[in-house]
Amino acid sequence: MRCKALGLALIASVLAVSCSRKDRGDRRVAILPFENLATSDLNWMSRGFAEAVRLQLAGAPHIEPVLVSSLRDVPSVGASQVLEGRFSLAGGRLHVEAVLEDALRQRHLGTVSAAGVQMLPAAESIARAIEPAARPLPTRSVPAMEAYVAAVEANNAAPADAGFDRAVAADPAFGTAYLAWTQSLMARGDSARAVRVLAAARQQSAGFQGLERAQLDLASAALAGDRAAERRALVALEHADPADASVYSRLSSLDAAAHSYRDAAAFCQKAFEREPANVLLLNQLGYLRSWAGDLDGAVEALEHYRTLRPADANPSDSLGDVYYWFGRFAQAEKAYREALAKDPSFEGGAELYKIAWTRLMQDDLRGGDAAFADFLQARKSAGDSLVEYRQAQWEHLTGRHQEALARLNRFASATRPAEASLAYAQLAVWALESRDPTGARDYAAKASAPVPAALLARFLTAPPAGAAEWTARAASAFPAPAEAILRRLGLAYALLSSGDYAAAAGPLQEMFDMTQPSSPDWPAVPLAWALVESHQYERVPSLISGNPAPSPEVEGPLGSLHFPRVLYVRAALAARQGRPDQAQADLKLFSKFGG
C-alpha cells in the first residue's frame, strides 16, 4: 500500500540552482549511505535509501547519480553535489531527512524531509525534490529492495546469488536486480549462468522500464561479444540515460576500435561535457582527433588539458605525440622538452627517447645520438638492465649495423638467460634480414629462455615454406588465444621475408583491425609494405599518413618492420604518384638507415 509522504519541504535554492545551470549535464550527484538512527534491523535501509534515490535519478537528462561509501570518495568521482541523509523511527513511522550540498564550494543547497509508513515512498519524495522529472522506482516491493541490497553488499558469491534470487522472486519485474545479478556473474566468469539469468529477464522485460530494457540489451550484446549489437544498445541507452558519461565513453571506445576516429572523438567530447572533472578524457580526445586528421581540434583539446593541469608533464607529452603524428617534428620536440622540464622522470625518461626520435626524423643523427645517450643514462640510473640492448637497437636502426652486432653479441654472452634470449632473438632476426639463415638458426638456438621474442625467433628460422605451411606452423607454434598477436606477427613476418606479400596482408590486416596507433603492435607500416609490393596502392596513403609516437618500452626484434621500412614505403608511393624528388629523398634516407 502506497503511503502519502508527509512534511515534504525543500529549500527553493535547490531547484533554482538546478534550473539555472546552462551546463546541467555537469550535475553529478554523489549519494552517501543514509545514517540509521532507528533500529539495527533496519541497517539495510542505509544502502536501501541511497539505492532507491539513485535508481530514480538514473535516466534523468541532466543528473548523473553515483553511489559513494564516504565523503572521502566524492572527489574521485567528480561529483558536483553530495546528498547525505538519515532516517529514524517515531510512533511506528519513518522520518527521513536528506541534505543536498555543493561538493566544490561546500555550500548547503537545500534540505528535504519526508515521513510515512514505508521507505520507498519516502525515497521517492527525496528523489523528486531533487529532480521533479525523476522516473518511478523500478520496484514497488520493499522485500525485493531489501533482498537486492543484501545481494549487492554480499562479500561472496553464494549470499549474492541468494539475495538476487529472492529479489526477483519478490518482484519478477525488478529489472535492476536481474541486471546486477548478470553483472555479478560476468565479473566472476560464470557466463553460462549469466546467460540463464538474462533469459529469465527477457521473459519479464515487458514489465521493465525503458532504461532497464536498454541495459538488458547491452548486457546481452556484451556477453555475446557482438560489437555491433553492443553499439546499438549503447545508442539506445544514450537516449534512455543521456547524463551517463560512461555510455559515451563506451561508444567512443567501440568506434575507436573500429577505427572510426571522428565518431569516437565526438562521443569522447560528449563524455567530457558530462564529466568535466575527468581531464584524462581531454587527453584521449586529443589522440582521437589527431587520428581523425584534425590537428587543430587535437591541439585545442590538449591545450585545454594543459590549462587544467599546468604542472603535469602528461599534457605536454601528449601534445608532442600529436605534433609527431602530423610530422611536425620541431613542434613535437618543443612539447617534449616542456614535458621534460616539468618532470624529468616522467615515464622513465620517455621524453628524452622521444626527443631523440624527433632529431632523427629531422635528419639530425648527432642530435638524436645525444638525446638517446641522455635517455640511456636515465635508464641506467633507474636500474635498467637492458641499456646495452637498447643502445644496440638504436645503432642498428640508424644504419650502424656492425657496431650493433658487436655490442649485442657482447651483451648476450654476459647477461642473464632471459635477457640473453631477448638479445639472441634480435640477432637471429638481423641475420635473417642479412640473408644469413645459418647464422639466424644458430642465434635462435641460443635463445633458450621461453620469452616471446625467443619463441618468435625460433619460429622464423624454420626452413623456408609456402603460405599454407607457414600458416600451419604458426597455428602449431602459437596455439593459445593469448598468443594470437605472436601467431599473426610471426606468420606475417615469415611471409614478408619469403616475398609472399599478398598472403602477408591477411594476418597484418587482422592485427590492424584489433589495434590502435598507440599500440606497439600497430601494423600500419608492414601492411602498407605488403600492399605496395602486391601492387594494391589504394589504402597505402591512409596507412602511412601519420607517425605513431615512439615508445620507450623495450622493443621486440621486429622493429625494422616499422622503421626504416616506412621510408621505403613512402618512396614507393611517391614514385607512383609522380613525385620523383620526394621518392629519391625518402629512398636515400631508407638506404642510410637501412644499411
pLDDT tens sequence across 453-482: 999 999 999 999 999 999 999 999 999 999
Could you give the CA distance from residue 503 to residue 595 in angstroms, rounded to a whole number? 27
Q: Which residues contact 400 (CB under 8 A, 6 or more apart)?
A: none
Report, as an integer, the average pLDDT of 336-346.
96
What does each C-alpha distance from 584 to 353, 357, 361, 395 come to in angstroms? 28, 22, 16, 24
What does each C-alpha distance from 80 to 29, 33, 277 come to in angstroms? 6, 17, 9
Stretch (H or E) spanning 86:
strand 81-90
Q: So what CATH class is 6-137?
A: alpha beta
Please check whether residue 297 is in contact with residue 319, taking contact to mean a CB–CB distance below 8 angstroms.
no
Residue ranges of E strands in 155-281: none
Q: What pLDDT, on the 0 to 100 scale, is given for residue 26?
A: 62
Report, as an integer, the average pLDDT of 568-579.
95
Q: Among candidates 578, 571, 489, which has minimal Cα distance to 529?
A: 571
Backbone angles phi, psi at 83, to 5 degrees: -115, 120
Please check whether residue 160 is in contact with residue 169, taking contact to mean a CB–CB distance below 8 angstroms.
no
Q: What pLDDT, on the 0 to 100 scale, is given for residue 595?
A: 65
Q: What pLDDT, on the 0 to 100 scale, is given for residue 10?
A: 34
C-alpha cell at 252: 567512443
Which CATH number is associated with domain 316-384? 1.25.40.10
pLDDT tens sequence across 247-288: 999 999 999 999 999 999 999 999 999 888 899 999 999 999
Label residue 3 exposed, middle or buried (CB < 10 Å: 0-12, 13-18, 19+).
middle
pLDDT at 16 over 80: no
**To the nearest whole percent, how much of the chain has pLDDT over 70?**
95
Domain ranges of the chain: 6-137, 146-243, 316-384, 404-461, 465-563
Could you give the CA distance from residue 140 to residue 124 in angstroms, rounded to a whole number? 10
Q: Among candidates 507, 493, 502, which has minimal Cα distance to 565?
A: 493
As a dihedral over the C-alpha atoms of residue 304, residue 309, residue 311, residue 317, rounded to 10 degrees, the angle is -60
| Least confident residue range of 13-22, 35-44, 340-349 | 13-22
pLDDT tens sequence across 225-253: 999 999 999 999 999 999 999 999 999 99
Label residue 156 exposed, middle or buried (CB < 10 Å: 0-12, 13-18, 19+).
exposed
Q: What pLDDT, on the 0 to 100 scale, is given for residue 4?
A: 32
C-alpha cell at 269: 567530447
Reported as a pLDDT band with limits 50, 70 and 90, residue 27 is: confident
pLDDT at 1 over 80: no
Could you give the CA distance from residue 115 to residue 450 in angstroms, rounded to a whole number? 68
Report, as an integer, the average pLDDT of 296-305.
98
